[in-house]
Amino acid sequence: MSAARGATRWWAAILWPSFLLAGAMDMLVFSAIDPSDLRAASGAAIEISRQGAYTLGFLAFWVLISTACALTALLMTEYDTPAEEPDGA
C-alpha cells in the first residue's frame, strides 16, 4: 500500500467516526438546550441564528472528537524499534 493511500485511510478512520459522533452529540445537546437560552444565559452581544448555533456546536464537537480520535490513533501506532545489541559485544 502506498504512503498516500495509508495516510488517506488513517484520516478517514479518524474523521468519519468523529463526524457521526459529532452529529449524535449535536442532536443530544440541542434536544435538551435551546440555542436562544444559551444566548440569553451568556449575555453575549453577538446575534446568531438557531441554525448558526447548531452549526457552530456541530463543528466544535467535530473538532474535539477528531482531536481525541487522532490522539488515540497516534498512541496506537506501532513504531519499529532498532534491534538491541547483545551485552557481550
Domain boundaries, the chain: 9-76
Summarize pLDDT for 45-76 with one digit per residue, the tens: 677 888 988 999 999 999 999 999 999 988 88
Cβ burial, residue 53 (10 Å; 0-12/13-18/19+): middle
DSSP state letter for 1: -
pLDDT number for residue 88: 60
Residue 89, pLDDT > 70, answer no
Q: What's the pTM?
A: 0.75
Position 7 scores a pLDDT of 84
Asked if 57 and 30 count as a contact pair (C-beta separation under 8 A), the reply is yes
**pLDDT value for 60:** 96
pLDDT value for 80:
66
